[in-house]
Amino acid sequence: MEIELIYCQFMERKCSSDLEKMESNTSNSVPSEKASPFVNHAEITWHKQRKDWIGDINHRAPKVAKEPVISWSMTYEDLLTTGEPFPQSIPLSEMVDFLVDIWNDEGLYD
């Protein structure tokens, strides 16, 4: 999560600096004899649209930890031997943690 945040902040800075460079290059009325470096306009547009879509990461409310759906005392058999649906949906991350713990206990996952 922290890596994603750092990457997003880096890309936002890169996108805005690329956009500023692009705007300063287009504002010059005197054509330059040197070829300007390649600017990936599609990437700049993509980052702008992504920023609009996800919003500002710095202003998001922190995620609150939820109570686990699966009880710590539940066994593999308790969980999978009933034919009834679970009373509430189980997040994938919680199910993976549960299965990895079971597999570690049984020596199936190293």
- For the chain, domain boundaries: 2-29+38-59, 65-110
Spatial separation of the C-alpha atoms in residues 85 and 60, rounded to whole Å: 34
Spatial separation of the C-alpha atoms in residues 75 and 50, rounded to whole Å: 42
Q: What's the confidence (pLDDT) of residue 63?
A: 77
Determine contact, residues 89/98, Cβ cutoff 8 Å. no
List the chain pLDDT tens, one digit each, 110 residues: 456 656 656 666 665 666 566 566 555 555 556 778 999 999 999 999 998 888 877 777 777 777 888 887 888 788 778 788 888 888 899 889 988 988 888 888 66
Tokens of 104: 């570690």
Q: What is the DSSP letter of 68?
A: P
Diameter of the chain measured on Cα atoms: 76
Tokens of 60: 């998001």
Spatial separation of the C-alpha atoms in residues 99 and 3, rounded to whole Å: 26
pTM of the entire predicted model: 0.40
